[in-house]
Amino acid sequence: MLADVTRDISTLMRQEVALAKAEIKEEAVKSGKAAGMLGGAGYAAHITVLFLSFALWWGLASAIDHIGWAAFIVAVLWGIAAAVLAVVGKGKLKQVHAPDRTIATVKEIPDALKPSTS
């Protein structure tokens, strides 16, 4: 009877691993497509911001009648934006922690279910 239980647990574990692999593969494909679309959106947003910066530069150059100072003003604005984003991003990064609950539950797996090292 113990052999049957051991075999059943082994079969169950293999089936669970196979199911997890299939689900992860399916979700990875969806994630890859979504990441590609987000990458394309990011590129389009970058080009939009670039051309809006050129338009601001041109508008400032005609308003203050000096192209160099207009470029400098636009560059300073982007420098401020970069500094703010860096500070906020650094703060958010400090909020990232290890998956403590998962680590704790994995440690609770009975030793009988763990594969032997010998």
What the block records as the tokens of 30 is 């969806």
Q: How many CB atoms lie within 10 A of CB 67?
A: 13
d(CA 7, CA 13) in angstroms, rounded, equals 10
Query: What percentage of the chain exceeds 70 in pLDDT?
Result: 92
Sign of CA dihedral 22, 8, 101, 94: negative
- Look up the pTM and report it: 0.59
Domain range annotation of the chain: 2-113
> pLDDT tens across 35-55, in order?
999 999 999 999 999 999 999
Residue 1: what pLDDT? 78
pLDDT-derived band at 5, boundaries 50, 70, 90: confident
Amino acid identity of residue 21, one-letter, is K
Residues 6+ apart with CB under 8 A from 113: 9, 13
